[in-house]
Amino acid sequence: MIQSLVDTFGNYINPWGYLVLLLLCLLEASAFVGLFVPGESALLIAGVLAERGDLSLSAAITVAVTGAILGDSLGYEIGRHLGERMRSSWFGRKVGDQRWANAHDFVRRNGGRSIFFGRFVGVLRALVPAIAGDARMPYGRFLVWNVLGALIATPAVIIGGYLAGSSYHVVERRMGQATYVLLVLVIAFFAVRHLRARRRESVANETR
């Protein structure tokens, strides 16, 4: 795959490689590309190309972080302005009103933490920004956690590809496995918090 990209772009991989990286990072959340194309693959490849000397590591990180922040912000705006249409679409009806309500409640209860942790899980990364916009999370709060997550998660994957070099496919496979584990842990963490909150509320009601 790496060799194919280099052969396709030839001497033009710089700057076209940066443009492709920017677009993939931007579209991943804003157009739900992350549901179909793992964003980590593009970041790992950028790291490998930087290790080969075809791209600058610092420039690749800057471009990827910028694309991630802009993509999440665009996803937020899509959810804010097109949320109702999204829920009434074929996909939205398949999800169901109750699941949409649960997703909104999840974002409202956990606030910025849902944005931050969502950055580390592919499926959540593609969906959470739009849900946050649809749930009317204040954009200022969304942006802070969006930037924080992008500054930590995005460079980490690129540097992983840089350090892995030609063995990046091993890292990619391990990251795919870790993503599922992290998704389960995130869900479990917020589920426990929700149950504890419900229990405290129940105890408070009983003592009144």
> 3-state class of 136 per DSSP?
coil
Q: What is the pLDDT of residue 183?
A: 46
Give tens-digit pLDDT for 86-109. 888 877 777 677 777 777 877 887
Can you give the pLDDT at residue 112? 83
Give me the residue label for tokens 């916009």. 133
What the block records as the tokens of 177 is 């496995």
pLDDT of 190 higher than 60: no
How many CB atoms are located within 10 Å of the residue 152 CB?
13
Confidence of residue 177 (pLDDT cuts 50, 70, 90): very low
pLDDT at 146: 93
Residue 142 to residue 109: CA distance in whole angstroms: 13
Of 67 and 89, the structure prediction assigns the larger pLDDT to: 67
Number of compact structural domains in the chain: 1
- With beta carbons less than 8 A apart as the criterion, state whether 40 and 122 touch: yes
Mean pLDDT of 176-188: 49
From its phi and psi, is residue 137 left (phi > 0), alpha (psi between -120 and 50) or beta? beta
| pLDDT at residue 54, as a whole number | 83
> Mean per-residue pLDDT for 158-178?
64
Using DSSP's 3-state secondary structure scheme, residue 33 falls into: helix
Q: What is the mean pLDDT of residues 73-77?
A: 91
Chain segment 14-46, per-residue pLDDT in tens: 778 888 888 888 888 776 666 676 677 788 888
Is 50 exceeded by the pLDDT of residue 181?
no
The arithmetic mean of pLDDT across residues 3-17, rounded, is: 66
pLDDT in tens, 116-167: 887 877 677 778 888 889 888 999 999 999 999 999 989 988 888 888 766 5
Count of Cβ atoms closer than 10 Å to residue 109 Cβ: 13
The domain of 92 spans 2-207
State both tokens at 116. Answer: 């931050």
Using the structure block, give the residue that is written with the tokens 């194919």: 4
Per the CB < 8 A criterion, the answer to whether 41 and 97 are in contact is no
